Structure 1
Amino acid sequence: MSHSLTLPSGDQLHYQLERRQRRTVGLKITQTGLVIHAPKRISQSQLEDIIVQKADWVLRKLASVTANKIPEIQWRHGEQLLLLGNAMTLTIEHNVRSKAVEYEPGVLQLAMPNQDKMLIARKVVQWYKKQAITDFTRRLEIFSSKLGVKFTSLTLSNAASRWGSCNSKKEIRLNWRLLQAPPHIINYVVCHELAHIKEMNHSAKFWATVESIFPDYKAAEKELKAISPQLHRF
């Protein structure tokens, strides 16, 4: 949920608030701004007091993100995209009728009557989501078999700050943007969420479960954080 707070300095601070079953308040700076994870029972006034105490750190981090922000996709012919960690060129041809998106290694081809950027973006995102369902399902089936667990369903997420989630019903959600990442990064997120079927927490047992099917999880987690801004260009 979006919120706004006027700081003592007069600066207007916008943030996304997610209330969860947790004991502490977590502040996270993403490419889209400040995201706060807060306990369900904390009052708004208590929460805002904490934000004010951390205001200098938040503003400094937000300024750093703005200074290093990766340019947004322009949705034009020749734009460079990512697929499974590899570069892919977007080509757009004029055609009296809009055709289905076609893919050849290294090239994503669109043919349409005009180069409306919103339409181009929609068609490309739809294509990514379609591929993501197939790709993620295959990975989930492989690693769930290795771990000896079963998931009940897969849905795609559009979250700004989370790459995946798993609930007590064994329903898994994965961010479709992950399809841009190298395969080992996708595998890490898949294994992370499958491990929650055994351990619905982030305890030592949970990380031991992750390590049992993805030994190099620490390096993958670090790499995912580093490339997240690139994956969120969409």
Structure 2
Amino acid sequence: MPTDDSLQQVWQWLVPPVVEDSQGQLIPRRRARMPSVQSPPQADLDFEENTSQAQDLQAEVAIHLMAQPGLLLAHPQASHDVQLQGRHVAYLLRRSARRSIGFSVSSHGLDVTAPRWVGMTEIEAALQTKSSWIVRKLQEAGQRQQIKEEARIHWGEGGTLDYLGQPMRLCLTGGEDQPVRTRQTHREQGADGAQHLHLPLPSGAPPVQVRAAVQAWILREARTHFTARMLHFAPQMGVRWNALRLSSANTRWGSASSAGIIRLNWRLMQHTPFIIDYVVVHELAHLHHMDHSAQFWAVVAQVLPGWKSLRQTLRDRPLPSWE
């Protein structure tokens, strides 16, 4: 997919967990021909932020449903329902000109897309055929949503968020009566490893102001950290990059272009340095191979032999909503 720079070769390697062309699935450049009843490949990575009021409400419903035995994540716009493996599933049915029945599971629930000429009997039969996969994916989606909600960041005094994989406490230490050292955003780390981010804001600052100040600081830190790691790995990998750009994309950790432009999501700074290194190496490896071929992964393995466990950790650890 071309970037904003109209570059011809860009690999988008992170999408949230859904089927086909929705958000949430590692999508190869060339898709295999789909069978009449389609199951997606296993979702690789998860990075999804709910920002609208409707999405927030849906997340609350998801948590409520997951807490009740026998109930699964219900689509907020559900048009049909079905019993799958003894579980009630409310789903949204869409009609299209496609020639096969497709399923998509995301944080919203189950979407079913079917040809206009296919009757409900055939659709329900297809649902039963894939019931095991559907139920499992709905459970996983609900659990991911619950984890995000439980980790929601409090944008105020005493709030915490991860920085380089470790909790960091927010301290609003601004005001004219505070020492000079607190009048600029800075991080302090104690001998025990505890991190504190001092923000030059009054204790009653509104959450939106606190969040903006934290984001501005992390953006600066991200550029410095990413640049250092790219300078470290590029010579080892025999590649040359031309520009680093910070990304705020909701569905990608990074991308690389054949022109040597690397984009990395600044929210990677909430992950551990090992995870950041994996993403950096992943994107630099695309300067050798603009695909996910065996040759591509061989390049990654030369620098990070344990890349599989790092990728799995990135898959399993969703970040809380930045809201």
TM-score normalised to structure 2 length: 0.57
CA deviations on 1:143-192 (whole Å, 9 max, x unpaired) are 00111110011111122232111111111111111112111111111111
Map 1:140-219 onto structure 2 (within 5 A): 140-219=230-309
2:172 corresponds to which of 92, 111, 114: 92
2:102 corresponds to which of 40, 47, 50: 50
Structure 1 residues 45, 33: CA separation in 2 closer, same or farther (over 3 Å shift)?
Answer: farther
Structure 1 residues 154, 192: CA separation in 2 closer, same or farther (over 3 Å shift)?
Answer: same
1:64 corresponds to which of 143, 155, 164: 143
One-letter identity of the residue aligned with 2:98:
Q
Residue 107 of structure 1 corresponds to which residue in structure 2? 196
The 2-side partners of 1:48 and 1:120 are apart by 49
Q: Is the 8 A contact 2:49 2:321 kept in 1?
A: no
Shift of 1:122: 0.7
TM-score normalised to structure 1 length: 0.77
Structure 1 residues 116, 101: CA separation in 2 closer, same or farther (over 3 Å shift)?
Answer: same
Residue 131 of structure 1 corresponds to which residue in structure 2? 221
Q: Which has the higher helix share?
A: 1
Shift of 1:48: 9.0
Shift of 1:94: 4.8
Q: Is the 8 A contact 2:47 2:252 kept in 1?
A: no
Shift of 1:81: 1.9
Structure 1 residues 148, 17: CA separation in 2 closer, same or farther (over 3 Å shift)?
Answer: closer
Q: Which has the higher strand share?
A: 1
The 2-side partners of 1:48 and 1:101 are apart by 55
Gaps of 5+ in 2: 1-21, 33-39, 51-95, 104-111, 113-126, 190-194
One-letter identity of the residue aligned with 1:65:
R
Q: Is the 8 A contact 1:89 1:108 kept in 2?
A: yes
Larger Rg: 2
Residue 81 of structure 1 corresponds to which residue in structure 2? 161
Shift of 1:20: 7.5
Instruction: Look up the SS of the partner of 1:46 in the other structure.
Output: coil
Structural RMSD (CA): 3.1
The 2-side partners of 1:164 and 1:192 are apart by 9
The 1-side partners of 2:173 and 2:315 are apart by 35
Q: Is the 8 A contact 2:171 2:197 kept in 1?
A: yes
One-letter identity of the residue aligned with 1:110:
L
One-letter identity of the residue aligned with 2:295:
K
Q: In the comparison of the two structures, how many residue pairs are matched?
A: 210
Structure 1 residues 27, 158: CA separation in 2 closer, same or farther (over 3 Å shift)?
Answer: farther
The 1-side partners of 2:216 and 2:147 are apart by 28
Q: Is the 8 A contact 2:169 2:196 kept in 1?
A: yes
Shift of 1:27: 7.7
Point out the more displaced range, 203-212 or 65-74. 65-74
The 2-side partners of 1:136 and 1:154 are apart by 8
Structure 1 residues 187, 116: CA separation in 2 closer, same or farther (over 3 Å shift)?
Answer: same
The 2-side partners of 1:103 and 1:118 are apart by 20
Structure 1 residues 48, 66: CA separation in 2 closer, same or farther (over 3 Å shift)?
Answer: farther
Q: Percent identity?
A: 33
The 1-side partners of 2:288 and 2:139 are apart by 39
Q: Is the 8 A contact 2:185 2:197 kept in 1?
A: yes
